[in-house]
Chain A
Amino acid sequence: MRVALMVTCVNDAMFPGTGQAVVRLLRRLGVDVDFPQAQTCCGQPMVNTGYLDEAVPAVRSFVRAFEGYDAVVTPSGSCAGSARHQHRLVAERSGDPGLAAAVAETSPRTYELSEFLVDVLGVTDVGAYFPHSVTYHPTCHSLRMLGVGDRPRRLLERVRGLRLVDLPKAEECCGFGGTFALKNADTSVAMGSDKARHVRETGAEVLVAGDNSCLMHIGGVLGRGRAGVRVLHLAEILASTEEQPA
């Protein structure tokens, strides 16, 4: 099986450790993962702000980079959701039937990390070790756009040493929302503060989620409040071992 990593633009530029964790994890599970250099961004920031024309080049890069792979894996529910649900729209807007046909090929083969592990590889125990208390925030797009359900929890429950603590009001949005975090910064921060308060209430050492953009927002609020809670991407916990801890 030819598997490509879509690292996402945010992880590429800001959180390379997450991409490295996915590579380590997949190799440990016997997957030969490739990183197509032509990839850039899924186009979601443009689409969600209303710049459909500006999203066309990104979607072109996407289908060019990932053409021919059996599966595209990404450590982001939001970007997987964009590839699966928004690329068709962008292709329609471009008026290019070739792009639409390419999107129809790549979209259904794009998986969020927990989906790929549980549904494609059929594993929940990935041999990870992480001896800490952890609370899990299901991000909106993984939960409601993709419907990843309890897959991330099932993976976390099998991590040795990990103690999973329930997050109150877990399914409520953290307030990131892409450019919403800037255009409606006050509301975004109000939502983020409530999320951060619930995280602190759990007493967990680590907050985990499947999207670094949401974690950057919640972590930013936690950090400003000097909460002392670490935020980590799901991939980094699943990649963690006794020899190479996260």
Chain B
Amino acid sequence: MTGTFVGMPAFPSAARAALADTQLRHNLAHATGVIRGKRAAVVGEVDNWEELRLAGAAVKERALLALDTQLVRLEESLTAHGAVVHWARDAEEANRIVVGLARAHEVDEVVKVKSMLTQEIGLNEALEAAGIAAWETDLAELIVQLGGDLPSHILVPAIHRNRAEIREIFARRMGEVGRPAPADLTDEPAVLAGAAREHLREKFLRARMAVSGANFAVADTGTLVVVESEGNGRMCLTLPEVLVSIVGIEKVVPTWAELDPLLRLLPRSSTGERMNPYTSTWSGITPGDGPQEVHVVLLDNGRTRALADEVGRQALRCIRCSACLNVCPVYERTGGHAYGSVYPGPIGAILNPLLRGTGDPQTDALPYASSLCGACFEACPVRIDIPEVLVHLRSQVVDGHREDRVPKPEAVAFRGAGWAFGDARRLDRAERLSSLAGRLLRRRGRTSLGRLPGPGSAWTDARDLPAPPTESFRDWWRRTDGGERP
């Protein structure tokens, strides 16, 4: 029932399809525009935002650069508070642990808090294969799940859908998996949210096991943190008997007090609010209150690979606010699906190659899915220099092909350019050819080039290209002695 990113085409062709969908482009432009405005307003309220960003980055950096110590401390604190800690090297191992826990408790369904990580590892599919239904309870995730769709945004996974499309999905699908949508369902957002409330309430009241991720995990106190808006998170974290939280090892925050800057940065960057409606924190088990059996799965799944990359490791600071998506001119036009991953947008363009390694065409196209405009770095609350990492990963992609028996035309071209730029006399000769072409064209009255065949068509299919000048700057300088002679 769920779609899959596996086998998606590389970014340029996926983007082409997305660009042709005018409804999608309209939905995206509207949504990203609204959220950019909200973010700018609440960030503008904070006098020392830049200092706060530096502090947020420093906290995550402190955790990451001593991650082994921090993880061991986290495990100790969690265990001391009654939680059971599991370690998982990869997706398969994490899924096996969760399926095992569900089987041990003989449940055939779990309720889920929105979690990027469980999407990354395909947990719902693994549970389904084991005969266990996984109910997404975040409104947007519910829309995506019922629509048999894929998430297209970190914060607002159904950002590509408008209200009319959502009404249709609810009316058609809710009855198949539980309480149907009311017959008089309209496309008012409040009415749609009301239908989701009724549909999910029966699942919340009966569920015995919940699965969550965590926004943060405090090493010295064993405190997990879930930041949300709707209260579906609170339902999952509070009502069932058993709670399983899958936590990426990069989520560690060293101390309780160091959560402070992150909780000031995240809501303003993410939803454009001073504070999100609900933040839940818990440290293991509280007798008489909430789940009395608590499991935490600490997952690697490529994070140590990213950590080993000295330039790329800053991407592990990411707190999944999605501010970079909302300000990205590429994301705004293509949407998230074109990135072929649960992590779309600028952060996805670096995180996916860092977690998975470069080497396949889909992943290798991602670092190039950016004009390097730098808006993402400016918006990032933990100062991840995304353009720097993009350029770094591009060099990894290129280096991965240096031993190719037949080099790509692009590689041949850049080798040629590198050679020409090594000596001004070589460049001069190339420019003479270009000036000759310019003289021929301009003699025929052509000041710009029309549609070119071959690789040049990528430019000229939709853009004019000026005809070369009749004389290069360096020829002019030599001929006129820098303009001193006519």
Q: In the assembled complex, which residues on chain B have CB atoms less than 8 Å from the CB atom of A176?
A: 371
- Name which residue of chain A comes closest to B431, CB basis: A13
0/1 string, B246-283, CB within 8 A of A gives 1:
00000000000000000000000000000000000000
Contacts of B422 in A (CB 8 A): 40, 57-58, 60-61
B104 within 8 A of A: no
What is the minimal beta-carbon distance from B344 to any residue of chain A, in angstroms? 14
Tell whether B368 is near chain A: CB-to-CB under 8 Å: yes
The chain B residue with its CB closest to the CB of A22 is B473
Which of A103-111, A118-126, A140-148, A156-164 sits within the interface? Answer: A140-148
Q: Is the CB of A43 within 8 A of B421?
A: yes
Would you call B463 and A9 a contact (CB within 8 A)? no
| Interface residue A101 (Cβ < 8 Å from any Cβ of B) | no
Q: How far is the CA of A246 from the CA of B115 in the complex (A)?
A: 58
Other-chain contact of A16, B12, B16, B329, B472 (Cβ < 8 Å): B472
Bound: A20/B479 CA distance, A:
13
Q: Does B436 sit at the interface, judged by CB under 8 A? A: no
CB distance from A93 to the nearest CB of B (A): 8
- Is B106 close to A, CB under 8 A? no
Q: Chain A contacts of B434 at CB under 8 A?
A: 13
Chain B residue numbers with a CB within 8 Å of A177 are: 370-373
A12/B410 contact (C-beta < 8 A), A58-B418, A186-B16 known: no
Interface stretch, picked from B158-166, B199-207, B389-397, is B389-397
Residues A39 and B466 in contact in the complex (CB < 8 Å), given A48-B394, A180-B370, A180-B371: no
A150 to B397 CA separation, bound complex (whole angstroms): 37
List the B side residues contacting A61 at CB < 8 Å.
Answer: 421-424
- The CA of A19 and the CA of B464, in the complex, are separated in Å by 22
> Which residues from A are CB-within-8-Å of B371?
140, 173, 175-178, 180, 188, 191
**Contact partner, B482, options A35, A45, A86, A217, Cβ 8 Å:** A35
Q: Are A219 and B374 in contact (CB under 8 A)?
A: no
Known: A35-B474, A48-B391, A49-B394. A23 touches B414 (CB 8 A): no
Q: A12 to B473, Cβ gap below 8 A? A: yes
A127 within 8 A of B: no
Residues of A close to B415: CB separation below 8 A: 51, 54
Q: Give A171-193 as 1s and 0s: 1 = Cβ < 8 Å from B's Cβ atoms.
A: 11101111111111111111111
CA distance in complex: A40, B427 (Å) = 7
A179 to B365, CA, bound (A): 13
Is chain A's interface secondary structure helix, strand, loop, or mixed overall?
Answer: helix
Residue of A nearest to B13 (CB): A186
Decide if B34 is an interface residue (CB 8 Å cutoff): no
Contacts A16-B476, A37-B424 hold; do A172 and B329 have CB atoms under 8 A apart? yes
From known contacts A49-B414, A57-B421, A188-B371, infer whether A13 and B468 are also in contact, taking CB-CB under 8 Å: yes
Among A129-137, A203-211, A220-228, the stretch that binds chain B is A220-228
Measured between beta carbons, the chain A residues less than 8 angstroms from B394 are 48-50
A53 within 8 A of B: yes
Q: Is B419 among interface residues, defined by CB-CB distance under 8 A?
A: yes
A175 to B332 Cα, complex, angstroms: 12
Q: Are A189 and B462 in contact (CB under 8 A)?
A: yes
Q: Which of A15, A19, A53, A191 contacts B333 (CB 8 A)?
A: A191
A7 at the interface (CB under 8 A from B): yes
Partner of B423, one of A27, A40, A55, A193: A40
Neighbouring B residues of A173 by C-beta, 8 Å: 329, 371, 373, 375
Interface contact tally, CB-CB below 8 A: 209
Contacts of A140 in B (CB 8 A): 371-375
Partner of A40, one of B368, B373, B421, B471: B421
Chain A residues with CB under 8 Å of B468's CB are 13-14
CB distance A184 to B473 under 8 Å? no
Whether B461 sits at the interface, judged by CB under 8 Å, is: yes
Q: Are B421 and A9 in contact (CB under 8 A)?
A: yes
Docked-complex contact B410 and A7, CB < 8 angstroms? no
Residues on the A chain within 8 Å of B396, using CB: 50
Bound-complex Cα distance A56 to B421 (A): 9
Q: Is A47 an interface residue (CB 8 A)?
A: yes
Q: How far is the CA of A11 from the CA of B373 in the complex (A)?
A: 21
**Chain B residues with CB below 8 A from A47, complex form:** 391
Q: What is the CA–CA distance of A54 and B431 in the complex, to the nearest angstrom? A: 19
Contacting pair A186 B19 (CB below 8 A)? yes
Q: Are B463 and A224 touching (Cβ within 8 A)?
A: yes
Would you call B5 an interface residue if the criterion is a C-beta within 8 Å of the partner chain's C-beta atoms? no
For A38, the chain B residues whose CB sits under 8 A away are 424
Q: A11-B473, A12-B431, A56-B418 in contact; A184/B464 too (CB < 8 A)?
A: no
| Distance of A34 Cα from B483 Cα, bound (Å) | 11
Flag if A180 contacts B372 (CB, 8 Å). Answer: yes
User: Of the candidates B15, B411, B419, B474, which one forms a contact with A186 in the assembled complex, judged by CB atoms under 8 Å apart?
Assistant: B15
With A12-B431, A58-B418 in contact, do A216 and B466 touch (Cβ < 8 Å)? yes
Residue of B nearest to A176 (CB): B371
Q: Say yes or no: is B453 at the interface (Cβ < 8 Å to chain A).
A: no
Q: Does B301 contact A (CB under 8 A)?
A: no
Residues of A contacting B46 in the complex (Cβ-Cβ under 8 angstroms): none
* A40 near B462: Cβ-Cβ < 8 Å: no
Contact of A50 among B398, B417, B455 (CB under 8 A): B398
Question: A140's closest neighbor in chain B, by CB?
Answer: B373
**Bound-state Cα–Cα, A143 to B462, Å:** 27
Chain B, 1-48, CB within 8 A of any chain A CB: 11-12, 15-16, 19
Q: Can you pick out 5 interface pairs between chain A and chain B where the beta carbons lie within 8 Å of each other?
A: A54-B414, A54-B415, A144-B375, A175-B329, A224-B462
Residues on B lying within 8 angstroms of A by beta carbon are: 11-12, 15-16, 19, 329-330, 333-334, 367-375, 377-378, 391, 393-399, 410-411, 414-415, 417-424, 427, 430-431, 434, 448, 455, 458-459, 461-466, 468-469, 471-474, 476-478, 482-483
**14 additional contacts, CB 8 Å, given A55-B418, A61-B423, A144-B378?**
A9-B427, A12-B473, A12-B474, A24-B483, A49-B410, A49-B414, A54-B414, A54-B417, A144-B374, A175-B371, A181-B459, A185-B12, A190-B333, A191-B329
Ranked 3 nearest A-B pairs via Cβ: A177-B371, A57-B422, A220-B463
